[in-house]
């Protein structure tokens, strides 16, 4: 049997005591693929081929297995410095096209619905979800984002959510969200009677901060989702909640993504903060991924921030988390006296337990997005990762800073930026 293993990745499965292994390999024939799958089924609880490309001379495949084996690590390519500092950490994407490997690897929801989901017993709704998730599954980097023709019923559901939330934004949403939202109405078709298309929103965000949206079938693992943020890519669903309960959803949907998340990705400081969490997740251990995912939960999803009030005092607390900005009930609750509010401290936030299906009993309040970014960067430096990374926006790749040559090149780039800054300051001073 001729098989060349190109990647292996593992993570705890949803079933306690089990692990999932994602394996990419190249083989000389489809017969060898069938043989490999057959042998894996002898030692694993379940095996499925999530993708197969047989149009080239060397077919390639990805297989997902669930087994009770010890967890290995996945090797990345050597840096050429004589030592490979990434060989003993979990695999992570190096370029944007690597995010294509996440397309099939959703943990739950998407096409499959739990028995208590409002749409679980609605055949028409399930068929519609299946249609939209299949479209997301086929999307690859560089392709136009899928255009979804939403029905009148789906638009009415969006309208009910849009109407309730937009009435609260002036008094509950952070200043940055309030600044961007009218721009989305003007440029991306944000209105009660229209569900915006991901393509329009993604293009708008890219012009603002370089962030882009990418369709996804359902919930990704924390590792995969956070890895995407390192490239300023946000994985977004396109299906919508069930019409029977327009003001409730047990999982992210297009209302949550576009009303909650999208506006703030147009803000430079928030975009930089989100990317900082993503960069820290690359090659991180499972324990550190859990900490970073918890920080994400209490900030990007359920974060509060202090802002200067109309009287000039820094005493107003507003919501910036998408889970709050897309839920009128929790948006009102989070700014009341009922929950506990604590200062944002990544080290403490990272270990705070939280409920998923109830309102949060504890919220963390950031002084600003920039301050939160600096604190996350400092926290990331304490994580057990034997290297640092940077995102190269010109090549849209991740650079591992593991050699003197790379550090020298990086230092030259910083020097050029400092020189440009110095010249600009001098000209500004002379013209004052």
Known catalytic residues? 256, 261, 301, 326
Edge to edge, the sheet with strand 304-307 lists 316-319, 304-307, 362-366, 340-343
Structural tokens at position 130: 């299946």
**Structure letter (DSSP) for residue 95:** B
**Structure letter (DSSP) for residue 216:** -
Q: What is the DSSP string of 44-63?
A: SSEEEEEEEE-SSSS-EEEE
Q: From CA 304, how far away is CA 291, in angstroms rounded?
A: 19
Question: Are the beta carbons of 66 and 19 closer than 8 angstroms?
Answer: yes
Residues 6+ apart with CB under 8 A from 265: 205, 208, 209, 211, 234, 271, 274
Q: Which helix (H) or strand (E) holds 8?
A: strand 3-12
Helices (H), 120-221: 123-137, 152-172, 175-187, 198-209
Strands 362-366 vs 304-307: parallel, antiparallel or unpaired: parallel
The terminus-to-terminus CA distance of the chain in angstroms comes to 75
Q: From CA 74, how far away is CA 88, in angstroms rounded?
A: 7
Q: From CA 172, how far away is CA 164, in angstroms rounded?
A: 12
């Amino acid at each position: 049997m001729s098989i060349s293993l190109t990647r292996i990745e593992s993570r705890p499965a949803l079933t306690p005591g089990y692990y999932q292994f994602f394996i990419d390999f190249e083989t000389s024939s489809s017969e060898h693929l069938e043989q490999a799958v057959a042998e894996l089924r002898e030692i694993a609880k379940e095996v499925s081929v999530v993708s197969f490309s047989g149009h080239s001379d060397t077919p390639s495949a990805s297989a997902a297995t669930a087994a009770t084996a010890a967890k290995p690590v996945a090797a990345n390519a050597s840096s050429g410095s004589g030592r490979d500092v990434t060989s003993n950490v979990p695999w992570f994407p190096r370029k944007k096209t690597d995010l294509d490997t996440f397309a099939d690897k959703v943990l739950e929801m998407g096409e499959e619905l739990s028995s208590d989901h409002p749409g679980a017993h609605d055949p028409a709704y399930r068929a519609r979800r299946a249609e939209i998730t299949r479209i997301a599954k086929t999307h690859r980097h560089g392709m136009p984002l899928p255009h979804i023709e939403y029905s009148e019923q789906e638009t009415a559901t969006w309208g009910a959510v849009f109407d309730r939330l937009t009435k609260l934004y002036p008094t509950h949403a952070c200043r940055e969200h309030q600044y961007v939202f009218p721009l989305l109405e003007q440029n991306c078709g944000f209105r009660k009677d229209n569900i915006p298309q991901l393509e329009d929103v993604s293009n708008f965000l890219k012009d603002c901060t370089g962030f882009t949206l990418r369709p996804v079938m359902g919930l990704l693992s924390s590792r995969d989702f956070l890895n995407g943020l390192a490239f300023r890519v946000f994985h977004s669903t396109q299906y919508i909640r069930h019409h029977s309960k327009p003001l409730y959803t047990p999982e992210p949907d297009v209302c949550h993504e576009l009303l909650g998340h999208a506006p703030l990705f147009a803000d430079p400081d928030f975009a930089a903060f989100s990317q900082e969490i993503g960069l820290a997740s690359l090659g991180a251990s499972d324990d550190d991924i859990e900490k970073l995912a918890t920080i994400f939960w209490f900030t990007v999803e359920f974060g509060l921030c202090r802002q200067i009030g109309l009287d000039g005092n820094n005493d107003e607390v507003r919501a910036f988390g998408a889970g709050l900005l897309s839920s009128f009930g929790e948006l009102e609750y989070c700014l009341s006296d009922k929950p506990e509010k604590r200062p944002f401290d990544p080290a403490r936030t990272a270990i705070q337990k939280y409920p998923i299906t109830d309102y949060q009993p504890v919220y963390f309040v950031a002084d600003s997005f920039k301050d939160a970014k600096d604190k996350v960067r400092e926290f990331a430096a304490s994580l057990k990762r034997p290297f640092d990374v940077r995102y190269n926006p010109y090549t849209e790749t991740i650079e591992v800073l593991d050699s003197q040559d790379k550090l020298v090149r990086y230092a030259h780039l910083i020097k050029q930026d400092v020189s440009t800054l110095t010249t600009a300051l001098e000209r500004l001073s002379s013209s004052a």
